Amino acid sequence: MKFTPLILASLASLAIAAGPALNCEETSTNTPEQSEGSTEGVIEEDCSNKEENAYVNCKKILGNSHTKCLDESDAVFTECKAAKPNFPAIEAHCDRPGKDKDACIFAARRCTAQLNKDADMWQFLQCIDRMQVCADQGAKLQLDQCLDKAKDCQAREFFTLGELTKLDQCAKKNL
């Protein structure tokens, strides 16, 4: 099939465009009148004072037309928190010298869609490394095989996070 690389490229671009958000940013929907002193329709609750580390990035839930503070017991907050990986840790992982930050962020988006919501950050960062190492295998229809081998390599041998050269050699051996 000579159209397979084109199809895969199209799917990858769709994944980028429609991929899950890594950041639930707050946006204001106040009208100019509300912003200029009128308090009608303005949410008065101060979200930033509530457990800022775990809270501030999930104030705006996708699909809502307004921002509201959520209690940690709120199911919507729990869903948002579970769906949003620790972005500063991902930034630090992808911002290492000599690494392709754009490829790393793209890999993070793919891992967000693939991992279970209860996966810990270590598993998430390992997934990013696997995705980066095997990214070029998609056009050769060996992506799944490469990812499986990379996961086995990580389980068998202790690779430092971001040690892509050694992981690459192990995962692509005999592919």
pLDDT at 70: 52
Verdict on whether the full-model pTM lies above 0.85: no
Kindly give, in sequence order, each residue whose CB lies less than 8 Å from that of residue 119, ignoring residues fewer than 6 positions away.
Answer: 127
Across 25-31, average pLDDT: 39
Q: Would you kindly state where each structural domain of the chain is located, as residue ranges?
A: 1-22+85-175, 24-84
pLDDT at 22: 38
Q: Give CA torsion, residues 108, 113, 115, 116, to 10 deg.
A: 140
More confidently predicted of 12 and 74: 74
Q: How far is CA 14 from CA 17, 23, 24, 139, in A?
A: 5, 19, 20, 16
Kindly give, in sequence order, each residue whose CB lies less than 8 Å from that of residue 100, ignoring residues fewer than 6 positions away.
Answer: 132
DSSP 159: P
